[in-house]
Amino acid sequence: MTRKIVIAGGSGFIGRGLEAHFSSKGDNVTVLTRTPSKPNHVGWDGKTQGAWVESLEGATALINLTGKNINCRWNDENRREIIASRTEAIAVLGSALRTLQKAPKVWIQSAGIDFVGDGPVGRDESAPRAPSGFLTEICALWEQAFAAQSDVPIRRTLFRIGPVLGQGGGPLVPLATLAKLFLGGSVGAGTQHFSWIHLGDLAGIFDWAIDNQNASGTYHAVAQNPSTNAQFMFALRKAYGRPWSPPVPSFAARIGAEVIGSPADIVLGGSYGVPARLLAEGYKFRFPTADSALADLIPKR
């Protein structure tokens, strides 16, 4: 049976990948976006109700990816927009869902693995919020906004997503460029954890959540074998045939980040989430290790 999938905030790197995945399976996909570019794209602003609400009527699933990219200068204006873009979209979707005659069967909400932060031991879904940092604050407010929609009478799942590896976007593009230029060394201490996930597995997890009627609550959408920064950069260099690159000291990473307007915390900080619930409930990862993910994404030399 053809499923009707609505992806809010679906015109970015992850959304494009999900749209292609579900379309390839014969699903009817609608993308809610500020910049409609295809017949199946519907305009919305992520703040107010409009004609887009009709797209949700009778849908199989609503997937919400909406949120301003965090890879920007963290000045006061951008900090406010990063948070507001996430919380306002959740609020207006909740309001819209309450008006429908036939609401979607499941609401899949994206969130961030930085909620649990880093440490010497992997942290599952029961771990408390990390104590400090802007990335953690974003994640906490994100989840609070979703929790405030608990009265919406449909199944609800929240996925704390790690950095998504795929072709044509996400963190792999700049990291691969550095590796090819013999600049793909570890950053800072190199011991900070990198809880990544392959885009193919993220799509598979969402597929699993749509069809699994028992899937609800909070999950970690990260690979089952997270890497440290040093381990991941080693695997990336190996994939490109670059046996060694000089490490990047913390101070140099901060200077470089300031020059290009990217927060150093993204690479110097870390998150160590483990997908305990997905594994316990039967999801099988296609790309469980960095080597397997990179082998799929990087053409053989």
Tokens read off for 265? 């915390």
Q: What is the pLDDT of residues 105-162, one digit of tens each?
A: 999 999 999 999 999 999 999 999 999 899 999 999 999 999 999 999 999 999 999 9
Check: pTM over 0.85? Answer yes or no. Answer: yes
Does some domain include residue 296? no
Does some domain include residue 262? no
Confidence at residue 132, expressed as pLDDT on a 0 to 100 scale = 87
What number is the average pLDDT over the span 216-232?
98
> Per-residue confidence at 284, pLDDT binned at 50, 70, 90?
very high
Which of these, 38, 13, 26, lies nearest to 207 by C-alpha position? 26
Does some domain include residue 220? yes
Confidence at residue 1, expressed as pLDDT on a 0 to 100 scale = 81
What number is the average pLDDT over the span 241-247?
92
Q: What is the pLDDT of residues 45-82, one digit of tens each?
A: 999 999 999 999 999 999 999 999 999 999 999 999 99
What number is the average pLDDT over the span 198-208?
98
According to DSSP, residue 190 is labeled: S
Does some domain include residue 242? no
State what percent of residues in the chain have pLDDT above 70.
100
**Count of structural domains, the chain:** 1
* Cβ atoms 66, 9 nearer than 8 A: yes
Residue 105 sits in which domain range?
Answer: 4-169+195-225+271-286
Which of these, 292, 13, 24, lies nearest to 168 by C-alpha position? 13
Confidence at residue 257, expressed as pLDDT on a 0 to 100 scale = 87
State what percent of residues in the chain have pLDDT above 90.
95
Task: Count CB-CB contacts under 10 A for residue 20.
Answer: 12
Does some domain include residue 106? yes
Strand 164-165 versus strand 197-198 pairing type = parallel
Task: Count CB-CB contacts under 10 A for residue 209.
Answer: 24
For the cut 80, the answer to whether the pLDDT of residue 301 exceeds it is no
Mean pLDDT of the chain: 96
Cα–Cα distances in angstroms (integers) from residue 122 to residues 66, 118, 256, in the given order: 27, 8, 29
Q: Per mean pLDDT, which range of 130-134, 144-148, 256-260, 295-299 is the poorest?
A: 256-260
Does some domain include residue 152? yes
Does some domain include residue 204? yes
Q: What is the CATH number of the domain that holds 162?
A: 3.40.50.720
Does some domain include residue 71? yes
Confidence at residue 214, expressed as pLDDT on a 0 to 100 scale = 97
- What is the identity of the amino acid at 112? G
